[in-house]
A and B are shown apart, each in its own frame.
Chain A
């Protein structure tokens, strides 16, 4: 029988700044390709923690490790002091009931309207009377500015609206941790600003510990308290966004400055250019 999930690892009352997520020396490979080679990350209670890095560095995979969707080959992943890598399916479901996740594309249920999408986790886990359910759902939709869109279908929403509905769904169970997977991708500046403000608002008003995965340096700089920059399977830098901006580490300078060449090369590994061209000519003649 599993013990109930503890609020903090040492059993003492929860304090702002306590470690909530601890990733230690995690190694993870897919199909022989090394994704993580000894990653260490800590996310603290009540803070917005950003995971940044170039595309393909495993930022989303890190979220999947934290939420127990995939298991690391070695290392430790702890949430509220409980080891995720050894949790049973039931324990993982208990853990996830205290987490909300905003997916890159919203992942709304396409055969349900906005209202039912937000109500979905509540219906699955509680037997709330319909009037209370309505109040709860409309409150959350109002918080993201979409109370008037309650009866629209997901296909009728813009990308930004879909992401806001997904956010309302993610907070409907009042989670302690909110995970955002690339929340700014594909959004116009207005929608991006709205999502940015909402992330900050959720953190400040509700005290939710937030994890944001993104490569949008400008937006993250305005909201994140702590940042981790991933590259080459490791954390190459960590600190506040301002500290990362002033870092002299080449990987950090390339990423924060948006430089096209550097430790992450512009060219995908290939044979010598001239030899390749001459080889093609020789083949065609």
Chain B
């Protein structure tokens, strides 16, 4: 996979000459995942509001619910859950699309037309995924925070001023950076695994199915592992 990644990296600059291909892939991986990301973010935020309020009120600090929700969303839940959802929706779509292109000889046809499929098919899809992931994670976090506020403030009666002012005081640029870096790394990992599995899949229905399954399993485990490593790295740095 390292060699495959290097081959993609070598084609990033040439593939920028056709931005339309990349924009289309951002739409496919990003815009088409928006509904599932927003719904999931809302529900996760609402649960965070419920559980956070229940826990914090035991210590009389329910006004800190906004801080808990914001930091939880920005640093862990937003990037991680977005990446897991991305692997399940966009990642499987990328793998099966490339796998089917291979099994129907579309990639071979490109080779025969002296067109490099890595440049015209794989790299735009990889870039689309990498660009879409932080945008989706940001959307997830914002909607999730709204969900936590909905439950905490509207339902549980946390003071709206305290909710937002404490959030504003506690969250700084480092927290936002951590979320962005994580979602970028997850974007690279999930997109790379998805396009790699599709490109290397056996050109049979069974082969494409297996490759799609491998995409979800490998991406999910990789995201959780990387999340631990990145969290530890950021904690050490701070």
A-side residues, CB < 8 A to B, are: 67, 69, 93-94, 96-97, 99, 101, 103-105, 107-110, 120-121, 124-125, 169, 173
Contacts and interface: CB of A to CB of B under 8 A. Distances in A.
Interface residues of B, number: 14
B108 A69 contact: yes
A101 B109 contact: yes
Contacts of A101: 109, 112
B112 A108 contact: no
Contacts, number: 47
27 contacts: A69-B111, A93-B114, A94-B114, A96-B114, A97-B114, A99-B112, A103-B108, A103-B109, A104-B105, A105-B104, A107-B105, A107-B106, A107-B108, A107-B109, A109-B101, A109-B106, A110-B104, A110-B106, A120-B113, A120-B115, A121-B113, A121-B114, A121-B115, A124-B114, A124-B115, A125-B114, A169-B113
Most chain A beta-carbon contacts within 10 A, residue among B100, B111, B114, B115 = B114
B112 to A, nearest CB: 4
Contacts of B100: 110
B120 interface: yes
Most B CB within 10 A of own CB, among A103, A105, A107, A173 = A107
A105 B115 CA distance: 19
A124 B105 CA distance: 18
A-B CB proximity, top 9 nearest: A107-B109, A107-B105, A93-B114, A121-B113, A96-B114, A101-B112, A97-B114, A124-B115, A103-B105
A109 B115 CA distance: 13
Interface string B101-125: 1001110110111111000100000
